[in-house]
């Protein structure tokens, strides 16, 4: 009977419906019929940041004693909240206020309790400690722990309006190791090599900027281009003048919005691919599970809006050795493959046949048919491949009377070696029978070279040289200016010390080397170094070891067992001891490249 | 031409305001009119208002309970998480580190911030790892320098100062404080509303750490905002739906009512055959049935009355006719007697005279009766011709001269000099005027009688004014009634049958004109006949005033003092149209 008293009925019906709905709330809203499903924990991590801790900088408290003022100033220097150092400057007065320049570099300085001296005019706080490292403007961390530089750092204070203030402070930022650990992130920035075929890592310490995400920070650093140590050794594929406009998470991916100059690489497929790989591999450190979308001024780029994942660029993998590597060793002048189950068979082709007494083999790659370079009995470098009917070809002959260092392959398929001729150091590289001379920096032009190894990414070289003070390990970039090869500025990784012998050096990957050394104090040890920041690991005992080869964390060594010739040892990291892999005259174990 | 534009610009706001005000007033008036007329609109509006109120109240309650449960749940989870974190931290901080070296008091500000294993850093790092992006942690230590930490990009100033004061006063076993609705600021990110949980931990060496967990509630706020939007949309749809239903339902009720109203209007206009359609058996159907019954009963009654009236009129007409034949015989006999009265003795002669007089009266009364019954039967017709109204007036005056002389009454004629043409039945108009003149002579008490003729473009009018006793209040209406006399005790002296004015009015109406009377006690009377110049044209006004000009003037002289004794200067106008 809707026709009569319509609105009333209507209201009554609405009320009934509401009451029913309200009553219905008592029934189960959450479905009671459920089946067990895998309960994946919801990720609580910030899509653009790894978690980090910041020091809170606070301005000086009224009436604080000198030591609190200095501690507060050091805390303000360690704080990343304050990009313009306004709070830190509140601790300063006089000359320090005008001359203190936080941009002039970072000194990492670990000290004990300060010594406090005060007189009528003011107070001086003196810290005594070791300079652990420096960080330059390129973010290059330079470890100085081994150098063991002891220094006094003094802060002069005086009273201004009844409050203590610092009037003389050491230049730049003075941070402790803990501060650096907290306020800096260690990241690998990847740049394509000169051929844009794979990526070369540049290890940098980047100050956390809380006002932007770490993704943003890393991309900005990439846009700045490679630092001094790698400049010209790698290419910068990001178009000049490109700016990052915006970073935003979008579900499982992260959007990078660039300014319009990015669009210039749209038509260059190779470059685009290199840029994508560079971004993907660099950002993998912060957002491992997420893909990347590139946008230009908010428009998807390239236009199909596809996402970038590091898994899509396996050939760019900066770690060129992955997984368990095939290893090789020499026994009786013949190359064997390490394969315990098969009884360490000889390789195919000429290297597996007894021809000449080859020593110091080097393998060009991970594939089965890779090429082998070795030193012949005549001191020249011969190359053969591990295929049937192969033969040894002489690639680098060297000058008569000189000695060539053991050969080393780079990733481009060239063999490298160094040569000592009276008073002159020459470096050779060869893609075939015709060797090419490589320019070396002047400071080692007359040094004595004992070993030369090209890094697995082909961007750096490590050498054992002796300029007269004793052997030292020096590393530097290989600069490839359109075919003209040159070794860039070398940095000393292991300094010469008295009565220290450096026996061998081997690359673990693109950035780390293992150095085998012998000193009176410590005996024969091997030490892993990071080429980029100079940090070293605890030296480990390596008695009886004479040659060494590394691939990632695997380590092989050729040693003398005292009996019939040598043996091949492998380092067991868990037990921290050497394990014998092959005996009976086995020697000179080698992993591909490095 | 900037000046006119400027002028217009200066004037226009006021004009616009006035225009808007006028428009608004008109709109309000229109809306009020529509509102008053439309039952449907009233029902729909009240449904809208009521349902809106109900939906708003329900929505607010619903929203409040959703917000409460959501915020409560979130707070409980947050507080539980913060408490668990604080317990873990306390376990770490309350025990002295095993290394003897770092067991030294660390809060002294010397190397505390730079010591490699500063416990605050360890604690903050573990909290940061646990928190991820879900919340941020701020650790404050007022006792030492460089011991304050924050995780992620939270701005540590987000912790309210009030909260800090409360937390500083916390006892060792007190539960932590929680505060909701705190704006959380971030470096490089817009602020969000959040929840802060503050606790205090005292380390083994007496250092006091305030630990604040800051949970952003942006996600919850977004969820609640979308729920609120949904509620608003659903509420609006519900209200509109209810209004539409109400409109539909009301229309079902209102349409039959409207039909009934229209039928009633037609019935009132005299269309007695009007009936409503009866559909179904509901209340409206019963209303229609009752209406129809009423209409048919009414029609029957009216028909009966009409028949009765017809019979009576026929009877009067028949009686008048039937009386004429014997009257003729009686009249002939009476004439005979009258002519030979001189042969009779004086008493008989007097009787013969009386009989003659009364027979004449009887005859004229019969004529009048016949005339009026003709009107009643609707049989009266007009014999129209264009005449000069002055001739008609003069002719009527001529007929009345004899009587006027008898009463020593003189006529004062006010006639226009131009001919005053009108399309009338001159016989009937003459009769009207005669009646008026006889009436005036009879009640004029010998005073002069003023006869005025006036005309304008559309109408002509004749006013007959006497200066006799006048009319009492309300008598202007009664004078036109049949057989009405002002003073029942007064005898009729001249031919007054009591029907003259009634017939005159019928004549005037037949012409489409007016016959109106004005009178005041002691002031005399004025009758005014107004006729259209063209037969059948509608009369819109009269060329002559109903109230004599001298009376009107006197009234305006007295000014606006209406407080005259009742029935004195009080003039009543009765319009017959």
Tell me, what's the pLDDT at A113?
79
Bridge partner residues of B201 (DSSP): B209
In B, which residues are within 8 Å of A46 by CB distance? Answer: 132-133, 152
C-beta neighbour count of A128 within 10 angstroms: 14
Beta carbons of B345 and B337 less than 8 angstroms apart: no
Listed in order, strand segments (DSSP E) in A297-406 are 299-300, 328-331, 334-337, 359-363, 371-375, 381-385, 393-396, 403-404
Q: Do A211 and B187 touch (CB under 8 A)?
A: yes
Q: Do A178 and B116 touch (CB under 8 A)?
A: yes
How many CB pairs (< 8 A) connect A and B?
Answer: 150
Bridge partner residues of A436 (DSSP): A429
Tell me, what's the pLDDT at B95?
79
Question: What letter would DSSP give residue A92?
Answer: B
Average pLDDT of chain B to the nearest whole number:
83
Tell me, what's the pLDDT at A9?
64
**Does residue B69 surpass a pLDDT of 90?**
yes
Beta carbons of A376 and A394 less than 8 angstroms apart: yes
Pairing of strands A500-507, B572-574: unpaired
Tell me, what's the pLDDT at A43?
62
Answer yes or no: is B478 within a domain.
yes
Q: Do A68 and B109 touch (CB under 8 A)?
A: yes
List the single best residue of A4, A18, A43, A51 to mutate versus B (max B Cβ within 10 A).
A51
Tell me, what's the pLDDT at B52?
93
Mean pLDDT confidence for A189-203? 85
**Does residue B234 surpass a pLDDT of 90?**
yes
Place of tokens 């409050």: A163
Alpha carbon of B232: minimum distance to chain A alpha carbons (Å)? 16
Q: Which of A210, A232, A208 is nearest to A221 (CA)?
A: A208
Alpha carbon of B107: minimum distance to chain A alpha carbons (Å)? 10
Beta carbons of A483 and A437 less than 8 angstroms apart: no
Answer yes or no: is B448 within a domain.
yes
The tokens of A46 are what? 């910030």
In B, which residues are within 8 Å of A177 by CB distance? Answer: 114, 116
User: Residues 6 or more apart from A215 whose CB is under 8 A from it?
Assistant: A48, A49, A247, A254, A256, A283, A286, A287
| Domain match, B400 and B452 both | yes
In B, which residues are within 8 Å of A54 by CB distance? Answer: 149-152
Of A4, A47, A211, the CB nearest to B153: A211
| Spacing of C-alpha A71 from chain mean position | 33
Answer yes or no: is B125 within a domain.
no
| Domain match, B320 and B427 both | no
Tell me, what's the pLDDT at B117?
66
Answer yes or no: is B100 within a domain.
no
Summarised one tens digit per residue, pLDDT across range A442-459 is: 888 888 888 999 988 888
Of A7, A113, A178, the CB nearest to B246: A7
Residue A471 forms contact with B (CB below 8 Å): no
Q: Do A71 and B115 touch (CB under 8 A)?
A: no
Out of A315-324, B407-416, B508-517, pick the least confident: A315-324
Pairing of strands A403-404, B514-520: unpaired
Please say which residue of B344, B362, B380 terminates a domain. B380
Task: In whole angstroms, give the CA distance from residue B426 to residue B173.
Answer: 124
Containing structural domain, residue B438: 384-574
C-beta neighbour count of A97 within 10 angstroms: 15
Task: In whole angstroms, give the CA distance from residue B438 to residue B468.
Answer: 13
Torsion (CA) A22, A26, A27, A31 in degrees, nearest 10: 100
More confident call, A15 vs A116? A116
Residue A71 forms contact with B (CB below 8 Å): yes
| Domain match, B482 and B553 both | yes
Q: Which of A298, A234, A296 is nearest to A479 (CA)?
A: A234
Mean pLDDT confidence for B356-372? 85
Tell me, what's the pLDDT at A566?
79
Q: Do B148 and A58 touch (CB under 8 A)?
A: yes
Task: In whole angstroms, give the CA distance from residue A26 to residue B289.
Answer: 51
The tokens of A398 are what? 């060297």
| Domain match, B516 and B452 both | yes
The total domain count for chain B is: 2
Q: Do A6 and B246 touch (CB under 8 A)?
A: yes
Chain B residue whose CA is closest to A42: B134
Highest mean pLDDT pick, A163-167, A214-218, B23-27: B23-27
Q: Is the ipTM of this complex over 0.90?
A: no
List the single best residue of B56, B105, B106, B113 to mutate versus A (max A Cβ within 10 A).
B113
**Does residue A236 surpass a pLDDT of 50?**
yes
Mean pLDDT confidence for A315-330? 75
Query: Chain A 185-244, CB below 8 Å of chain B: which residues?
Result: 209-212
Tell me, what's the pLDDT at A41?
65
Pairing of strands A253-258, A291-296: parallel
More confident call, A200 vs B379? A200
Q: Do A55 and B282 touch (CB under 8 A)?
A: no
- Under DSSP, is residue B287 helix (H, G, I), strand (E, B) or coil? helix
Beta carbons of B96 and B106 less than 8 angstroms apart: no
Question: What letter would DSSP give residue B418?
Answer: S
| Domain match, B524 and B404 both | yes
Alpha carbon of A431: minimum distance to chain B alpha carbons (Å)? 50
Answer yes or no: is B204 within a domain.
no
Q: Which of A468, A414, A466, A404 is nearest to A436 (CA)?
A: A414
Beta carbons of A363 and A593 less than 8 angstroms apart: yes
Please say which residue of B380, B395, B424 terminates a domain. B380
Q: Which long-range contacts (CB under 8 A, 24 or more apart) does B130-133 make?
A: B130/B85, B131/A44, B131/A51, B131/B213, B132/A43, B132/A44, B132/A45, B132/A46, B132/A51, B133/A44, B133/A45, B133/A46, B133/A47, B133/A49
Q: Do B109 and A71 touch (CB under 8 A)?
A: yes
Tell me, what's the pLDDT at A4?
45
Q: Do B132 and A3 touch (CB under 8 A)?
A: no
Q: Do A44 and B112 touch (CB under 8 A)?
A: no
| Domain match, B452 and B560 both | yes
| Domain match, B528 and B464 both | yes
Helix (H), strand (E) at residue A267:
none
Alpha carbon of B73: minimum distance to chain A alpha carbons (Å)? 17
Summarised one tens digit per residue, pLDDT across range B464-487 is: 999 888 888 888 888 888 888 766
Summarised one tens digit per residue, pLDDT across range B190-218 is: 888 999 999 998 888 888 899 999 999 88
Summarised one tens digit per residue, pLDDT across range A153-178 is: 888 888 888 888 898 888 888 888 88
In A, which residues are within 8 Å of B107 by CB distance? Answer: none
pLDDT bin (cut points 50, 70, 90) of residue A137 is confident
C-beta neighbour count of A178 within 10 angstroms: 20
| Domain match, B367 and B393 both | no
User: Residues 6 or more apart from B368 whose CB is under 8 A from it?
Assistant: B497, B499, B500, B503
SS (H, E, C) A556-579: EEEEECCCCCEEEEEEECCCCEEE
**Does residue B491 surpass a pLDDT of 60?**
no
Query: Chain A 386-405, CB below 8 Å of chain B: which residues?
Result: none
Q: Do A7 and B152 touch (CB under 8 A)?
A: no
Please say which residue of B380, B397, B428 terminates a domain. B380
The CATH number given to whatever domain includes residue B339 is 1.10.287.130
The phi and psi torsions of B550 (rounded to 5 degrees) equal: -70, -35
Alpha carbon of B29: minimum distance to chain A alpha carbons (Å)? 27
DSSP-assigned letters across all residues of B482-518:
TT--S-TTSPP-SS--S-HHHHHHHHHHHTT-EEEEE
- Under DSSP, is residue A238 helix (H, G, I), strand (E, B) or coil? coil
DSSP-assigned letters across all residues of A493-534:
EE---TTEEEEEEEESSSSEEEEEEEETTTEEEEEEEETTT-
Residue A38 forms contact with B (CB below 8 Å): no
List the single best residue of A6, A72, A170 to mutate versus B (max B Cβ within 10 A).
A6
Tell me, what's the pLDDT at A452?
92
Summarised one tens digit per residue, pLDDT across range A27-39 is: 677 878 778 888 7
Answer yes or no: is B323 within a domain.
yes
Tell me, what's the pLDDT at B238?
93
Q: Do B253 and A7 touch (CB under 8 A)?
A: no
Query: Chain A 91-150, CB below 8 Å of chain B: which residues?
Result: 110-114
**Does residue B60 surpass a pLDDT of 90?**
yes
Out of A302-311, B208-217, B304-313, pick the least confident: A302-311
Summarised one tens digit per residue, pLDDT across range A254-299 is: 888 999 888 888 778 888 888 888 888 898 888 887 888 888 888 8
Summarised one tens digit per residue, pLDDT across range B238-257 is: 999 999 999 999 888 888 88
Tell me, what's the pLDDT at B7?
47
| Domain match, B400 and B322 both | no
Chain B residue whose CA is closest to A71: B109
In A, which residues are within 8 Å of B108 by CB distance? Answer: 67
Residue A179 forms contact with B (CB below 8 Å): yes
In B, which residues are within 8 Å of A182 by CB distance? Answer: 121
Residue A54 forms contact with B (CB below 8 Å): yes
Listed in order, strand segments (DSSP E) in A161-304 are 163-168, 173-175, 184-192, 199-207, 244-250, 253-258, 291-296, 299-300
Answer yes or no: is B559 within a domain.
yes
pLDDT bin (cut points 50, 70, 90) of residue A320 is low
Beta carbons of A187 and A285 less than 8 angstroms apart: yes
SS (H, E, C) B423-470: EECHHHHHHHHHHHHHHHHHHCCCCCEEEEEEECCCEEEEEEEECCCC
Cα dihedral sign for B429, B432, B433, B434? positive
Mean pLDDT confidence for A525-533? 87
Tell me, what's the pLDDT at B229?
95
Task: In whole angstroms, give the CA distance from residue A257 to residue A420.
Answer: 53
Torsion (CA) B358, B362, B363, B364 in degrees, nearest 10: 100
In A, which residues are within 8 Å of B115 by CB distance? Answer: 176, 178
Of B47, B151, B188, the CB nearest to A53: B151
Highest mean pLDDT pick, A108-112, A343-347, B182-186: B182-186
Tell me, what's the pLDDT at A150?
83
B365-374 burial code (b ≥16 CB/10 A, e <16): bbebbbbbbb
| Domain match, B363 and B411 both | no
* Integer CA distances (angstroms), A197 to A301, A389, A458, B80, in order: 22, 31, 11, 52
Of A6, A47, A71, the CB nearest to B145: A71
The tokens of B244 are what? 């539409």
The CATH number given to whatever domain includes residue B460 is 3.30.565.10
Beta carbons of A588 and A375 less than 8 angstroms apart: no
Phi-psi map region of B517: left, alpha, beta (phi>0 left; psi -120 to 50 alpha): beta
Percent of chain B at pLDDT exceeding 90: 25
Answer yes or no: is B106 within a domain.
no
Of B131, B249, B283, the CB nearest to A2: B249
Mean pLDDT confidence for A193-216? 85
The phi and psi torsions of A369 (rounded to 5 degrees) equal: -95, 25
Alpha carbon of B265: minimum distance to chain A alpha carbons (Å)? 25
Residue A58 forms contact with B (CB below 8 Å): yes
Summarised one tens digit per residue, pLDDT across range A97-122 is: 888 888 888 888 888 778 888 877 78
Residue B167 exposed, middle or buried by CB count within 10 Å (0-12, 13-18, 19+): buried
The tokens of B30 are what? 């229109």
Tell me, what's the pLDDT at B5?
46
Tell me, what's the pLDDT at A365?
82
Task: In whole angstroms, give the CA distance from residue A390 to residue B401.
Answer: 168
The tokens of B295 are what? 């209409």
Alpha carbon of A7: minimum distance to chain B alpha carbons (Å)? 5
In B, which residues are within 8 Å of A183 by CB distance? Answer: none
Alpha carbon of B52: minimum distance to chain A alpha carbons (Å)? 12
Place of tokens 């935003």: A248
Summarised one tens digit per residue, pLDDT across range B79-130 is: 999 999 998 888 888 876 654 444 333 333 333 333 446 788 888 888 888 8
Structural domains for chain A? 66-175 (3.10.450), 187-201+208-316 (no CATH), 328-590 (2.120.10.80)
Find the helix packing angle between B283-339 and B218-268, rounded to 10°.
30
| Domain match, B304 and B351 both | yes
List the single best residue of B51, B111, B184 to mutate versus A (max A Cβ within 10 A).
B111
List the single best residue of A56, A114, A213, A220 to mutate versus B (max B Cβ within 10 A).
A56
pLDDT bin (cut points 50, 70, 90) of residue B568 is very low
| Domain match, B544 and B430 both | yes
Listed in order, strand segments (DSSP E) in A100-243 are 106-111, 115-118, 122-135, 141-143, 149-160, 163-168, 173-175, 184-192, 199-207
Task: In whole angstroms, give the CA distance from residue B477 to residue A572.
Answer: 138
In A, which residues are within 8 Å of B148 by CB distance? Answer: 55-56, 58, 75
Give the ranges where B95-158 is alpha helix by DSSP (H). Answer: 119-131
In B, which residues are within 8 Å of A11 by CB distance? Answer: 47, 50-51, 242
Tell me, what's the pLDDT at B224?
92
């Amino acid at each position: 009977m809707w026709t009569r008293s319509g609105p009333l009925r209507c209201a009554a019906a609405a009320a009934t419906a509401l009451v029913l709905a309200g009553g219905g709330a008592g029934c189960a809203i959450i479905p009671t019929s459920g089946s067990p499903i895998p309960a994946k924990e919801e990720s609580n991590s910030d899509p653009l940041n790894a978690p980090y801790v910041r020091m809170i900088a606070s301005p000086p408290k009224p009436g604080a004693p000198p030591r609190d003022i200095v501690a507060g100033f050091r805390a303000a220097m360690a704080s990343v909240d304050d990009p313009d150092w306004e709070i830190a400057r509140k601790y300063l007065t006089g000359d320090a206020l005008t001359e203190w320049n936080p941009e002039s570099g970072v000194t990492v300085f670990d000290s004990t309790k300060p010594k406090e001296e005060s007189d009528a005019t003011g107070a001086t706080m003196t810290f005594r400690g070791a300079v652990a490292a420096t960080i330059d403007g390129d973010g290059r961390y330079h470890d100085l722990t081994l150098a063991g530089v002891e220094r006094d750092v003094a802060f002069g204070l005086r009273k201004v309006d009844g409050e203590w203030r610092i009037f003389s402070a050491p230049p730049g930022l003075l941070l402790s190791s803990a501060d650096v650990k907290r306020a800096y992130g260690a990241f690998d920035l990847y740049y394509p090599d000169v051929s844009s075929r794979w990526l070369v890592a540049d290890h940098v310490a980047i100050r956390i900027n809380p006002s932007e995400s770490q993704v943003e920070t890393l991309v900005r650093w990439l846009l700045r281009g490679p630092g001094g140590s790698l400049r010209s050794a790698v290419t910068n594929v990001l178009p000049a003048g490109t700016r990052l406009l915006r970073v935003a998470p979008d579900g499982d991916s992260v959007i990078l919005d660039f300014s319009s100059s990015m669009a210039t690489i749209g038509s260059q497929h190779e470059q685009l691919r290199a840029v994508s790989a560079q971004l993907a591999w660099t950002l993998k450190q912060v957002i491992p599970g997420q893909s990347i979308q590139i946008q230009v001024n908010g428009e998807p780029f390239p236009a199909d809006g596809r996402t970038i994942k590091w898994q899509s660029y396996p050939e760019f993998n900066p770690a060129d050795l992955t997984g368990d590597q095939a290893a090789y060793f020499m026994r009786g002048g013949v190359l064997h493959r390490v394969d315990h189950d098969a009884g360490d068979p000889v390789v195919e082709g000429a290297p597996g046949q007894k021809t000449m007494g080859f020593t110091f083999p080097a393998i060009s790659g991970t594939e089965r048919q890779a090429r082998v370079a070795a030193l012949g009995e005549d001191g020249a470098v011969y190359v053969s491949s591990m295929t049937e009917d192969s033969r040894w070809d002489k690639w680098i002959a060297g000058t008569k009377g000189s000695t060539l260092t053991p050969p080393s392959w780079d990733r481009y398929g060239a063999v490298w070696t160094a040569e000592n001729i009276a008073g002159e150091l020459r470096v050779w590289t060869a893609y075939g029978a015709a060797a090419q001379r490589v320019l070396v920096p002047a400071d080692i032009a007359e040094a004595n070279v004992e070993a030369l190894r090209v890094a697995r990414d082909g961007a750096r070289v490590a050498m054992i040289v002796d300029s007269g003070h004793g052997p030292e390990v020096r590393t530097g970039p290989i600069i490839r200016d359109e075919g003209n090869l040159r070794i860039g500025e070398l940095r000393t990784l292991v300094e010469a010390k008295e009565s220290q012998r450096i026996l061998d050096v081997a690359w673990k990957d693109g950035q780390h080397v293992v150095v085998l050394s012998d000193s009176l104090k410590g005996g024969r040890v091997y030490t892993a170094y990071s080429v980029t920041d100079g940090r070293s690991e605890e030296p480990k005992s390596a008695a009886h070891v004479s040659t060494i080869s590394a691939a990632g964390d695997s380590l092989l060594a050729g040693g003398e067992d005292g009996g019939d010739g040598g043996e091949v040892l492998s380092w067991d990291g868990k037990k921290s001891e050497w394990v014998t892999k092959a005996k009976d005259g086995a020697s000179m174990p080698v992993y591909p490249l490095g | 031409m900037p000046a006119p534009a400027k002028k217009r610009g200066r004037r226009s706001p006021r004009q616009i305001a006035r225009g808007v005000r006028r428009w608004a007033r008109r709109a309000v008036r229109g809306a009020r009119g529509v509102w008053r007329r439309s039952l449907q609109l009233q029902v729909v509006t009240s449904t809208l208002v009521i349902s809106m109120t109900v939906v708003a109240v329900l929505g607010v309650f619903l929203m409040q309970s959703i917000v409460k449960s959501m915020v409560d749940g979130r707070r409980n989870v947050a507080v539980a998480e913060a408490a668990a974190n604080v317990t873990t931290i306390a376990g770490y901080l309350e025990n002295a580190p095993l290394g003897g070296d770092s067991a030294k008091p660390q809060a002294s500000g010397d190397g505390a911030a730079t010591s490699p294993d500063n416990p605050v850093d360890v604690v903050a790092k573990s909290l940061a790892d646990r928190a991820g992006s879900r919340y941020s942690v701020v650790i404050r230590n007022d006792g030492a320098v460089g011991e304050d930490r924050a995780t992620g990009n939270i701005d540590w100033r987000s912790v309210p100062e009030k909260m800090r004061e409360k937390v500083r006063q916390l006892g060792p076993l007190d539960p932590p404080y929680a505060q909701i609705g705190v704006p959380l600021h971030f470096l490089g990110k817009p602020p969000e509303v959040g929840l802060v949980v503050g606790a205090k931990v005292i380390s083994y060496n007496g250092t006091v750490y305030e630990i604040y967990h800051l949970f952003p509630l942006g996600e919850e706020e977004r969820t609640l905002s979308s729920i609120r939007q949904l509620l608003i949309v659903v509420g609006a749809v519900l209200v509109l739906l209810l209004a539409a239903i109400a409109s539909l339902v009301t229309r079902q009720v209102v349409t039959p009512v409207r039909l009934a109203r229209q039928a009633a209007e037609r019935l009132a206009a005299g269309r007695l055959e009007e009936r409503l359609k009866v559909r179904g058996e509901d209340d409206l159907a019963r209303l229609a049935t009752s209406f129809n019954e009423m209409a048919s009963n009414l029609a029957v009654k009216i028909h009966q009355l009409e028949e009765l009236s017809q019979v009576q009129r026929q009877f009067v007409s028949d009686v008048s006719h039937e009386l004429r034949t014997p009257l003729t015989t009686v009249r002939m006999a009476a004439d005979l007697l009258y002519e030979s009265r001189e042969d009779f003795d004086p008493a008989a002669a007097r009787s013969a005279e009386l009989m003659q007089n009364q027979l004449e009266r009887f005859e004229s009364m019969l004529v009048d009766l016949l005339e009026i019954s003709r009107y009643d039967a609707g049989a009266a017709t007009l014999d129209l011709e264009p005449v000069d109204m002055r001739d008609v007036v003069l002719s009527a005056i001529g007929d009345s001269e004899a009587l006027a002389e008898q009463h020593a009454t003189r006529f004062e004629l006010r006639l226009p000099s131009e001919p005053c043409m009108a399309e009338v039945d001159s016989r009937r108009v003459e009769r009207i005027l005669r009646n008026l003149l006889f009436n005036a002579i009879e009640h004029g008490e010998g005073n002069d009688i003023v006869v005025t003729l006036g005309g304008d473009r559309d109408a002509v009018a004749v006013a007959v004014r006497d200066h006799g006793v006048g009319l009492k209040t309300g008598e202007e209406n009664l004078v036109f009634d049949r057989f009405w006399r002002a003073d029942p005790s007064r005898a009729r002296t001249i031919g007054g049958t009591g029907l003259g004015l009634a017939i005159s009015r019928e004549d005037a109406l037949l012409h489409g004109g007016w016959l109106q009377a004005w009178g005041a006690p002691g002031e005399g009377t004025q009758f005014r006949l107004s006729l259209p110049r063209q037969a059948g044209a509608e009369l819109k006004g009269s060329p002559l005033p109903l109230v004599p000009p001298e009376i009107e003037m006197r009234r305006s002289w007295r000014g606006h003092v209406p407080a005259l004794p009742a029935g004195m200067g009080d003039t009543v106008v009765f319009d017959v149209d």
